[in-house]
C-alpha cells in the first residue's frame, strides 16, 4: 500500500493467520545453514501474489529444496505497527518484512535492527538512486530494504458506465477529457448529470487527494525533513479540490480498502478510480466478473507516482542468510516482470522498463490497455517525491478526514482536526 498503500488499507482478502501463528516469527529456532528452513514473509495487500495464489513462492521452493515459505497478510496499519513493536521487543518479527515507501523513512534511524544489504553484495545500480536512497541511512552506508515495485499513476475507468452517461470510452479520448485535475472534477459533473442510478464518479475523496499530490515533489515533508503538511499550498489545494468534488456529489463515499469499497467494485458503484499500477491487482482480485469492462487512461496532469515497497530482513531472525537470499530473488528483475504481468505491480528495476515483456504488455482485464507503456510514461516526468517518517500515517489521516466530510462533517472542522491529528502522530 503500497504515499503508497496507506494505513487504512485492508487487503483485498486478508488471510486467516491463526493457523500460521506458530511460524509467524523469524526466531523459530531454525537456521539457514542446517537442514530444512521455514521462512516467514509478512506483507500487506498483494505484494507478491493475489489471494490464494502462491505461484511466486512455489517457484522458489521448487528451485530451493528444503525451503518452505509461509506468507502472512494483515492490513496496512496493523502490519507496520507490528513491525515496530517486534523490533523494539527484539523478537517476533518475520524473516522478511515488507515496508511501504511512505513508512520506510521511519525505520532508517534503526539500521542495527535490519540486515544491511550493502554488506550482502547487492547490485544497487539496478534501481534509480532516488529509490535506493529512500531505504538508506543518510551517509549511504546502510541499506535496510530492497525495492520491490513503484506505483506510477493512471486513471482506471469503467467503459460501460462511461457509455451509459454519454461520455467517450476510447482511452485516448477519455485521457483528453482531463488535462488537469480541475477538468477531471468538471467531467465528473458531466457524468453525474447522466449517470446510471446510484453510480458515482469516483470511489472516495482520499484517492482524489492522493492522486493530486502524486505529481508533487514535496507534500507532507520538505527536503530537509521538516513537517509542512499544514503550510504546503499543494496539500491545501488537493484538499480543497477533493472537498469540492465531494460536495458536488461525485464520491461514492466508500472508505478506501474497506469491505464496502471492495463491494463497490463488484456492484459498479463508481466509474473511475485513481490508479497506480498496483491498483490493477486490487480491481482484478475484487471484481473478477468485471473483466473487459475496465480500461486505463492517463492521469490528470499526465504524470505522477503513488506507491512502492521495500523488502527488509530483521536482524533478530535466526534465518537471516536464507532470508537475504529470498529477498534478493524476490526483488530480481525476472520476478519483477512476472509480478507485473500477474498482478500489476510495476517493477522498480530500471532494466525491466524497456523489456519487451513489460513495455509490450497489455492487460486483457483492462480491455487490452497498454499498461506496459502507460505507467512508465507517468513516471517519466514525475518528481522524486520526498517521504518522511510518518508520510504513510499522514496520508491515512487525510483519507479518514475526507471520509468524514463525505459523511457530513464540515470541511473546515475536518481540516482543523486533521492538523491536530497530524501533529499528534508526527510530533
Q: Which domains does the chain have, with CATH numbers?
A: 37-150+308-349 (3.40.190.10), 151-306+357-426 (3.40.190.10)
Closest CA to 12 of 393, 364, 283: 283
Whether the predicted pLDDT of 28 surpasses 70: no
| Residue 18, pLDDT score | 31
C-alpha span between 238 and 211 (Å, rounded)? 9
Name residue, grid cell 523513512: 105
Residue scoring higher pLDDT (214 or 381): 214
Rg (CA), the chain: 21
Q: What are phi and psi of 70, to 5 degrees?
A: -120, 120
- How many Cβ atoms from other residues are within 10 Å of residue 274's Cβ? 26
- How many Cβ atoms from other residues are within 10 Å of residue 289's Cβ? 9
Q: What is the average pLDDT across 114-130? A: 93
pTM of the full structure: 0.84
Confidence at 46, pLDDT banded by 50, 70, 90: low
| Residue 28 per-residue DSSP state | S
C-alpha span between 405 and 401 (Å, rounded)? 6
> Which region holds residue 33: left if phi is over 0, alpha if psi is between -120 and 50, else beta?
alpha
C-alpha span between 220 and 65 (Å, rounded)? 46
Q: What is the average pLDDT across 13-28? A: 33
Under 8 Å CB-to-CB from 331, ≥6 apart: which residues?
Answer: 146, 147, 148, 311, 348, 349
Whether the predicted pLDDT of 26 surpasses 90: no
Closest CA to 124 of 136, 132, 116: 132
Judging by DSSP bridges, how do beta strands 37-43 and 96-100 pair with one another?
Answer: parallel
State the DSSP H helix or E strand holding residue 298, giving kind and residue range, or none if neither.
Answer: strand 294-298
Q: Which region among 60-64, 72-76, 149-153, 202-206 has the lowest average model confidence (pLDDT)?
A: 72-76
| Residue 8, pLDDT score | 34
Q: What is the average pLDDT across 243-272? A: 95
Q: What is the average pLDDT across 75-80? A: 85
| Residue 25, pLDDT score | 39
> Which region holds residue 321: left if phi is over 0, alpha if psi is between -120 and 50, else beta?
alpha
Q: Which residues pair with 39 in a beta bridge?
A: 69
C-alpha span between 148 and 127 (Å, rounded)? 10
Q: Is 424 exposed, middle or buried (0-12, 13-18, 19+ CB in 10 A)?
A: exposed
Q: And the C-alpha cell for 106?
A: 521511519
Indicate the SS3 state at residue 361. coil
Whether the predicted pLDDT of 24 surpasses 90: no
Strands across the sheet containing 146-150? 67-73, 37-43, 96-100, 308-312, 146-150, 346-347
| pLDDT tens for each residue of 228-239 | 999 999 999 999
Closest CA to 27 of 328, 323, 325, 331: 323
Closest CA to 313 of 9, 35, 99: 99
Q: Which residues pair with 295 in a beta bridge?
A: 157
Confidence at 383, pLDDT banded by 50, 70, 90: confident
**Residue 21: CA atoms inside 13 Å, Cβ hemisphere, count?**
3
Strands across the sheet containing 294-298? 200-202, 270-275, 154-158, 294-298
Q: What is the average pLDDT across 132-152? A: 93
Q: Which residues pair with 143 in a beta bridge?
A: 136
**Residue 283: CA atoms inside 13 Å, Cβ hemisphere, count?**
30
Amino acid at each position: 500500500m503500497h504515499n503508497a498503500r496507506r494505513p487504512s488499507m485492508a487487503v483485498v482478502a486478508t488471510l486467516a493467520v491463526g493457523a500460521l501463528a506458530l511460524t509467524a516469527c523469524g526466531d523459530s529456532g531454525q537456521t539457514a545453514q542446517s537442514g530444512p528452513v521455514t521462512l516467514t514473509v509478512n506483507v500487506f495487500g498483494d505484494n507478491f501474489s493475489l489471494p490464494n495464489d502462491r505461484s511466486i513462492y512455489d517457484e522458489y521452493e521448487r528451485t530451493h529444496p528444503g525451503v518452505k515459505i509461509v506468507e502472512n497478510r494483515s492490513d496496512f496499519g496493523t502490519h507496520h505497527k507490528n513491525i515496530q513493536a517486534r523490533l523494539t521487543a527484539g523478537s517476533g518479527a518475520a524473516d522478511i518484512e515488507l515496508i511501504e515507501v511512505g513508512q520506510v523513512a521511519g525505520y532508517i534511524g534503526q539500521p542495527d535492527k535490519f540486515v544491511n544489504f550493502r554488506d550482502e553484495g547487492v547490485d544497487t545500480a539496478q534501481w534509480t538512486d532516488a529509490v535506493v536512497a529512500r531505504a538508506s541511512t543518510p551517509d549511504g552506508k546502510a541499506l535496510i530494504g530492497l525495492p520491490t515495485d513503484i506505483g506510477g499513476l493512471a486513471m482506471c475507468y469503467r467503459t460501460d458506465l462511461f457509455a451509459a452517461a454519454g461520455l467517450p470510452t476510447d482511452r485516448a479520448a477519455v485521457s483528453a477529457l482531463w488535462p488537469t485535475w480541475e477538468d477531471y472534477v468538471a467531467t465528473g459533473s458531466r457524468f453525474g448529470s447522466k449517470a446510471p442510478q446510484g453510480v458515482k464518479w469516483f470511489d472516495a475523496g482520499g484517492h482524489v487527494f492522493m492522486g493530486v499530490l502524486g505529481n508533487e515533489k514535496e507534500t507532507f515533508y520538505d527536503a530537509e525533513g521538516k513537517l509542512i503538511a499544514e503550510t504546503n499550498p499543494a496539500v491545501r489545494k488537493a484538499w480543497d479540490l477533493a472537498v469540492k468534488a465531494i460536495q458536488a456529489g461525485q464520491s461514492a463515499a466508500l472508505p478506501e480498502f474497506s469491505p464496502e469499497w471492495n463491494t463497490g467494485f463488484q456492484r459498479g458503484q463508481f466509474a473511475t478510480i485513481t490508479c497506480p499500477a498496483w491498483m490493477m491487482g486490487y480491481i482484478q482480485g475484487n471484481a473478477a466478473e468485471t473483466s473487459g469492462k475496465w480500461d486505463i487512461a492517463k492521469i490528470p496532469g499526465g504524470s505522477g507516482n503513488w506507491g512502492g515497497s521495500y523488502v527488509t530482513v530483521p536482524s533478530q531472525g535466526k534465518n537471516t542468510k536464507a532470508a537475504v537470499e529470498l529477498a534478493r530473488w524476490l526483488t530480481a528483475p525476472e520476478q519483477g516482470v512476472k509480478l507485473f504481468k500477474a498482478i500489476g505491480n510495476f517493477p522498480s528495476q530500471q532494466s525491466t522498463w524497456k523489456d519487451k515483456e513489460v513495455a509490450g504488455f497489455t492487460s486483457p482485464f483492462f480491455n487490452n490497455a497498454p499498461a506496459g507503456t502507460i505507467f512508465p510514461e507517468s513516471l517519466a516526468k514525475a518528481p522524486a517525491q520526498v517521504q518522511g517518517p510518518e508520510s504513510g500515517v499522514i496520508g491515512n489521516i487525510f483519507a479518514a478526514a475526507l471520509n468524514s466530510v463525505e459523511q457530513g462533517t464540515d470541511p473546515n472542522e475536518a481540516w482543523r482536526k486533521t492538523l491536530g491529528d497530524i501533529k499528534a502522530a508526527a510530533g
